[in-house]
Amino acid sequence: MKPNKPILIAGVIILTICLCFIFPYEYNRTNYISDLKLTFLSLAAAMFTLMYGLMGKHFFKGLLFLICSALFSFCCWWLFFYSDFWGMIPALYAGIPAGIVAGLVFLIFNYQFIKDENKVTLFIKRLILYSILLFIFSILFAKGGDWIFDISEYFKAEK
């Protein structure tokens, strides 16, 4: 399967416009992350365009994998981190994005680095890679939101 170059170029252009023009414009006019509607819309359009350009006719399989990854991550967050009913809220806001990001990174790593003739060994490599990625991104989404603030406060306290 060969990447479709015009679609990839369109995805890169959409991503560049989003990061260089739309995000700075909206960032100056908002105080909340939920107000960045055009940024999120253009990032989603760029992601879907790039996925279609790279995956071609397997685009819907990749999209299904991302949806399943988000649902699996949500269930893991709900069961392991917050097992009560109200634990569903942080599982929605952190588990689903962690699953989507882990799924996207897994698709990239799977395409580039994982190759094996034996199907059992290939499945085990994929399972281990996905588990490690989901664990890392879950930790980042659970604890990573305030890292910059914590580091800056640490250096202020050192002075």
Vertex 99 angle, CA 51 and 4, to 5°: 5
Residue-level pLDDT at 154: 74
How far apart are alpha carbons 24 and 57 in whole angstroms?
A: 34
Question: For 26-51, how does the pLDDT look when each residue is reduced to its tens digit (9 = 90+)?
Answer: 888 887 777 788 888 998 899 889 88
Average pLDDT of the segment spanning 89-106: 84
Residue-level pLDDT at 23: 85
85 by Cβ neighbours in 10 Å (0-12 / 13-18 / 19+) ranks as exposed
3-state class of 36 per DSSP? coil
Average pLDDT of the segment spanning 80-103: 79
Could you give the C-alpha distances from 18 to 44, 106, 107, in angstroms and in order? 10, 24, 23
